[in-house]
A and B are shown apart, each in its own frame.
Chain A
Amino acid sequence: AQSVTQPDIHITVSEGASLELRCNYSYGATPYLFWYVQSPGQGLQLLLKYFSGDTLVQGIKGFEAEFKRSQSSFNLRKPSVHWSDAAEYFCAVGASSNTGKLIFGQGTTLQVKP
């Protein structure tokens, strides 16, 4: 079955500390992978996406993610977290033929301590 697992429901980090949010996927075909961020009461904003090529992808707001096919993972990282990064983060997987039909993980809530 196709699925996305975000093992960490809630993460708290101190401002300025590094961040890694985990994402594991199960997908039969070549996956297209995405990370979205959602602030309270808002829709989802695309942080970055991986379609092919370099397995380390850069996104907006200083985020990056690394695709590891052998581990079926697509972890999101940021070297130094800012208080404004506090939000809900979603990993998603889709087919190359139609990236409008995404399977989302349950999300990870990021809290940033001053």
Chain B
Amino acid sequence: ETGVTQSPTHLIKTRGQQVTLRCSSQSGHNTVSWYQQALGQGPQFIFQYYREEENGRGNFPPRFSGLQFPNYSSELNVNALELDDSALYLCASSLDSTGGLFFGSGTQLSVL
């Protein structure tokens, strides 16, 4: 068990709605990265937070946003949901920016 927990495990939303996904990092890890994994694909990097500041972003529009809190928990927010946002969203934490990633089990988001 990696110690990275995500909630909820499953979520169903309709197009145009907003969603917040949550992640609790492994104890002591100050870096969190979020990934989107579409069905049959490898994970794609959304963004990373280090000490509560965004520290890099992948090719995702601004309606994907995040927060990291002092206790190293974090959120991924997606506004104006689109059908193509349906995917498994993975949170991963690391001790610092040069260590290996430890992944949570993900949140499966379905947009109808």
- Whether a CB of chain B sits under 8 angstroms from the CB of A11 is no
- Whether a CB of chain A sits under 8 angstroms from the CB of B65 is no
Number of interface residues, chain B, beta carbon within 8 A: 29
Are A102 and B41 within 8 A (Cβ)? no
How far in angstroms is the closest Cβ of chain B from A24? 14
Docked pose: A107 CA to B39 CA in angstroms: 11
> Which listed residue, A90, A97, A99, A106, touches B100 by the CB 8 Å rule?
A99
Docked pose: A62 CA to B106 CA in angstroms: 26
What is the size category of the interface that chain A forms with chain B?
A: 20 to 34
Query: Which residues of the other chain, A, contact B56 by a CB distance below 8 angstroms?
Result: 98, 100-101
Query: Which residues of the other chain, B, contact A90 by a CB distance below 8 angstroms?
Result: 42-43
Are A98 and B41 within 8 A (Cβ)? no
- Whether a CB of chain B sits under 8 angstroms from the CB of A57 is no
Interface centre among B2, B31, B33, B42 (most CB of A within 10 A): B42
Interface string of A95-112 (1 = CB under 8 A from B): 011111111111100000
8 CB-based A-B contacts, threshold 8 Å: A41-B105, A44-B90, A96-B98, A98-B97, A99-B99, A100-B101, A101-B48, A102-B101
Please give the residue numbers on chain A whose beta carbons come within 8 Å of chain B beta carbons, in ascending order. Answer: 4, 34, 36, 41-46, 49, 90, 92, 96-107
Known: A45-B2, A101-B33, A104-B42. 8 other contacts (CB 8 A): A42-B105, A44-B103, A90-B43, A100-B55, A100-B56, A100-B97, A101-B45, A102-B45
